[in-house]
Structure 1
Amino acid sequence: MIVVQIAKNFKDIEVRLPDIEKLVKTVCNRFKISEATISIVVTGDTEIRKLNKRFLNRNRSTDCLSFDLSDDDADPEKSFELVVNAEMAIREAKIRGHSSQAELALYITHGLLHNLGFNDSQQAQAKKMHDTEDEILTQLGYGLVYNKNSE
């Protein structure tokens, strides 16, 4: 069973639990994960900056932080925690011309893919990751979100 838990610490964005559950389950199904607990914290710039500094020693805001809390690779049950920046999602959505929910869905997908072994530190890996994000988001009706301007 896939369990999705959401804590909303930022009031200026609508968080649609059914949509987020569907997104998380779609990603899990795509990668053959049948047992998982996914905890998502929706927060703003100030809090995510503090967490980014604490855990990654980066003193700046970011779109998402992802943590794999699973016991080990042999355990089929996954435990992931994501912290996503709603304040950044609102700003970026305005700039990029789509909804803040689509941008937030991108951040959640991005964090999940990091926990599943995707990496965006090199150009070829980043392209694969961003293409996968857009495939998933298009499947769910958001359309291209990351590569929107390449339509």
Structure 2
Amino acid sequence: MSIEVLNESGEVPGPVAEQELHDLARHVLDQLRVHPRAELAITLVDEEAMTALHERWMDLPGPTDVMSFPMDELRPGSDSETPEGVLGDVVLCPSVARTQARAAGHSVQDEILLLTTHGILHLLGFDHAEPAEEREMFDLQRTLLLTFLSQRGRTTTAAPDARTTP
């Protein structure tokens, strides 16, 4: 599995170690049985870059916390062969995540892990526009994040089913 983590946010070393984002992404993709040769990019950007993306692709003003850009429309696998391809890109804005974490009373690290999981689920076709979809996506998001953290011997202070901004 090819997972690339790029920190273009200007925050060094960044609020979350790139290796932890890589490990979380691998955990999510493994749990959802995405093809082992699938490709994923996770990029951390500053507010200016996120604002430009948010305005261009969503026609909404200002920065947001996470955006997902699917490529080959891969879906979670099954017991049969799953297709390989380019999953796409998850773009995160650490400064927006920091503000959200502060408002929610949890760590920036936990917020970014939550947003990464959320973004990957969007790449795999999950959405939360309808109540049933929201329940399914947020239940899965919670399970994936909590199992990842428990394997690392820690818990989260973030509500794993927390909403992200539009």
Structure 2 length-normalised TM: 0.78
Residues 1:72 and 1:32: Cα distance change in structure 2 (over 3 Å): closer
Shift, 1:115, TM fit = 0.8
The match for 2:10 is 10
Asked whether the 8 Å contact 1:10–1:86 carries over to 2, the reply is no
Q: Deviations over 1:56-86 (max 9, x none)?
A: 2222321111111238888512331111111
Residues 1:59 and 1:5: Cα distance change in structure 2 (over 3 Å): same
Structure 1 unaligned residues grouped into runs of 5+: none
Asked whether the 8 Å contact 2:9–2:94 carries over to 1, the reply is no
Runs of 4+ in 1 over 6 A off after TM superposition: 71-74
Percentage of matched positions with identical amino acids: 22
Aligned pairs for 1:112-151 (under 5 A) are: 112-141=120-149, 142-143=155-156, 145-147=159-161
Amino acid at match of 2:85: E
Structure 2 unaligned residues grouped into runs of 5+: 76-81, 150-154
Asked whether the 8 Å contact 1:4–1:39 carries over to 2, the reply is yes
Amino acid at match of 2:47: D
1:83 lines up with 2:91 in the alignment:
yes
Residues 1:130 and 1:11: Cα distance change in structure 2 (over 3 Å): same
Shift, 1:18, TM fit = 1.8
Asked whether the 8 Å contact 1:68–1:80 carries over to 2, the reply is yes
Root mean square deviation of aligned Cα: 2.3
Shift, 1:10, TM fit = 3.4
The alignment of Structure 1 onto Structure 2 pairs a total of residues equal to: 148
- The 10-residue stretch of structure 1 (1-10 or 108-117) with the greater mean CA deviation from structure 2: 1-10
The match for 1:104 is 112
DSSP 3-state at the match of 1:58:
coil
Q: Give the whole-Å Cα distance in 2 for the aligned partners of 1:125 and 1:10.
A: 35
Structure 1 length-normalised TM: 0.85
The match for 2:79 is none
Asked whether the 8 Å contact 1:137–1:145 carries over to 2, the reply is no
Residues 1:64 and 1:72: Cα distance change in structure 2 (over 3 Å): closer
Q: Give the whole-Å Cα distance in 2 for the aligned partners of 1:77 and 1:5.
A: 18
If asked which structure has higher relative contact order (CA below 8 Å, sep 6+), I would say 2
Q: Give the whole-Å Cα distance in 2 for the aligned partners of 1:138 and 1:72.
A: 24
Q: Give the whole-Å Cα distance in 2 for the aligned partners of 1:72 and 1:14.
A: 29
Asked whether the 8 Å contact 1:5–1:37 carries over to 2, the reply is no
